[in-house]
A and B are shown apart, each in its own frame.
Chain A
Amino acid sequence: MAYTRTAHSATSGVIPGFGLSLGYTLVYMSLLVLIPMSAIFIKASAQSLPEFWATITAPPVVASYRVSFLTSLLAAAINVVFGSLLAWSLVRYNFWGKRLVDALIDLPFALPTAVAGITLSALYAQNGWIGSLLAPYGVKVAFTPLGILVALTFIGLPFVVRTIQPILQDLSPEFEEAAATLGARRWQTFRHVILPALLPAILTGFALAFARAVGEYGSVIFIAGNVPMVSEITPLLIITRLDQFDIAGATAIAAVMLVVSFILLFLINGLQHWTARRSSYLSGEDGV
């Protein structure tokens, strides 16, 4: 009750429902998210430490960390480059079909991952629209780690565009005008004025795309080929352990992934605060 009273005193204290709404929120979240999630750590800690360590450092598992980490990193980097150019084009230029392009940026959010997976593997297979163009040069994409990269690039793109786009929109042109008045060339203005302003958003977009890519399963498994030690991602190993009824093994690997998720979540939170602070400073009082 004392807690309720402090809560009310923060506002004018007339709005009802604090206890009920917070109580329901906490109960629902605990039942659905927190308690089941704790099951991973509790089950994982039931194993002896050497056993746990052996599971999470077995060569195929370590190889999968490498594949997941490197392809996710590379996909996020690709998205930062092309996503920034797309956000820039959507904010700064007018072109035919701009509304369509803007709307379809969110396609990877809306398209089920399994659909993305089979479609990308059809496109990049040896006889696919893109795969057949690459085949004469000896480039194989589908069923290799390159295929994983393609799938992760697809699913990560909107995170980058949708993080940079609003910041770029709110960026007051006065800074660029001031730079131009002071004699800066366009490239110098970009390098020393625009890029630093966008940096927090770019890093946030990168982190969001990376976090999504690390855990991604549906779009990857169809195009990866899933060759052990070469193109197996970490989430797939959890599934294979489960299929072999090795629940302890699956849980140990899942615990590692959860820890990585937590770290990324807090990192992204920090980045988002930085982005918000920097943006409110740079957008000027009256916007554009």
Chain B
Amino acid sequence: MSGMVGGLHAQQHGQTYYESNPATREARWVKWGILAVALTFFALFLLLPLLAVFTEALRKGYTAYWEAIAQPDTLSAITLTLIATLIAIPLNVAFGVTAAWSISKFDFRGKQLLKTLIDLPFSVSPVVAGLMYVLVFGVNGWFGKWLTAHDMTVIFAVPGIVLATVFVTFPFVARELIPLMEAQGNEAEEAAVSLGASGWQTFWLVTLPNIKWGLLYGVILCNARAMGEFGAVSVVSGHLRGQTVTLPLQVEILYNEYQFSAAFAVASLLALLALATLAIKLYVERRTT
């Protein structure tokens, strides 16, 4: 997306439009000064940490790296992370699509408030999010007695982890789809309906093809956050090894046990996931602009 302006007006010598236009050009030393400061900051704060994850992970060699990843606790953490993610994504896709449908296709009172409320989980501290579910489902919580009586546990068990994951990833899909569907307007759907299509047919055959890239974008962001969530999951997990430990929590456990290389080995898996997320994101952005 960036460089669109520069791309459209690309001049010789790889200059942007701004650089070739005397009215929007800075003195050479100003330009190099800005670039030097900006890129130094970039290298220090983004590039270096990225390199450090992999360097630290491989510090004790490939054998130790694989051992750290192949140990049963790590494997069960991978499984749990996948379970929580695979539940969170479809739930939040269904929510995102229905919320975007109601907000973009219809006018109603309180729409702006609804949009604000959808963003709410982004502004709540993950720790507070975890605590909410403890208050509702914990032993002394609203449903604690009932859950105990029925021999069920939510907090310090897998359901709590799933709930916390669903909460922190709640807005991602809706947030991508609402502006997209608002911008697309209603003409295509109105045409389909007046030609005799049912509501579902209209959605599957008309709306969905138009929003598929936005939907994918939302799913990618949702996926990254679901797999990487730490604070909220940490509160409801109880850190029971092999049972309620997700990948980020496994990183914490190994790190606190001074198994630094193992911690970074597991962390490098999550860093690879982050890089894959950025790559897919870039691909989707290319397809849509």
Contacts and interface: CB of A to CB of B under 8 A. Distances in A.
Tell me, yes or no, whether A binds B.
yes
Interface of A: 3, 6-8, 10-12, 14-18, 20-22, 24-25, 28-29, 32-37, 39-40, 43, 82, 85-86, 88-95, 98-99, 101-116, 118-120, 122-123, 129-130, 153-154, 157, 165-166, 169, 173, 176-177, 179-181, 186, 211, 214-218, 222, 235-236, 238-239, 242, 247, 250-251, 254, 257-258, 261-262, 264-266, 268-269, 288
A88 B5 CA distance: 13
A25 B102 contact: yes
B68 interface: no
A contact face: mostly helix, strand, loop, or mixed: helix
A111 B273 CA distance: 8
A256 B102 CA distance: 33
B267 to A, nearest CB: 4
A215 to B, nearest CB: 3
A24 to B, nearest CB: 5
B214 to A, nearest CB: 16
Given A7-B107, A103-B278, A14 B190 contact: yes
A91 B132 contact: no
Interface in B125-141: 125-128, 131-136, 138, 140-141
Contacts of A102: 2-3
A16 B199 contact: yes
Contact of B235 (A17, A33, A105, A239): A239
A214 B125 CA distance: 8
A236 B234 CA distance: 11
B135 A251 contact: yes
Q: Which of A107, A120, A216 has the most CB of B within 10 A?
A: A107
B83 interface: no
A112 B127 contact: no
B193 A115 contact: no
B125 A157 contact: no
B102 A40 contact: no
Interface in B81-117: 94-95, 98-99, 101-102, 105-108, 114, 116-117
B52 interface: yes
Contacts of A257: 125, 128
A154 B131 contact: no
Contacts of B227: 112
B218 interface: no
A119 B18 contact: no
Contact of A112 (B44, B194, B270): B270
Nearest to B221: A109
Given A18-B102, A215-B123, A254 B41 contact: no
Interface residues of B, number: 115
A111 B47 contact: no
CB-based closest 10 A-B pairs:
A112-B228, A215-B125, A10-B107, A218-B230, A180-B23, A217-B231, A110-B274, A21-B102, A16-B199, A36-B132
Contacts of A236: 127
A90 B2 contact: yes
B231 A218 contact: yes
B208 interface: no
B70 interface: no
Contacts of A17: 101-102, 105, 199, 203
B17 interface: yes
Given A102-B2, A215-B123, 4 more contacts: A32-B170, A107-B50, A115-B53, A269-B116
Nearest to B275: A110
Contact of B126 (A123, A217, A242): A217
B18 A89 contact: no
Contact of B274 (A43, A107, A165, A169): A107
